[in-house]
Amino acid sequence: NPILRQLRPTRRVSALLRWEGIVVDPLGAILALLVYQAITSIDGSSIGQGVLNLGLTLLVGLLFAGPIGW
């Protein structure tokens, strides 16, 4: 934020940067969790089972979090 105070962007650029911070930060955290889930689910099982576990995790997450976020 100190850089933005120094630059004083236009209203449109400021709104875009605020939106980017709100959306991209949680997506990075979710991506990190998905990568962790993928790595830990393939500990000794086949790659197919790991992909299936990852898909199931995504599906359950979208089914529960999707309606709440919408």
Per-residue confidence (pLDDT) for residue 4, from 0 to 100: 74
| 41 exposure class (CB count in 10 Å sphere: 0-12, 13-18, 19+) | middle
Confidence of residue 20 (pLDDT cuts 50, 70, 90): confident
Q: Residues 54-68: what's their mean pLDDT?
A: 83
pLDDT tens sequence across 30-58: 888 878 877 776 666 677 777 787 788 88
Per-residue confidence (pLDDT) for residue 37, from 0 to 100: 76
CA quadruple 36, 38, 40, 43: dihedral positive or negative?
Answer: negative
Per-residue confidence (pLDDT) for residue 42, from 0 to 100: 67
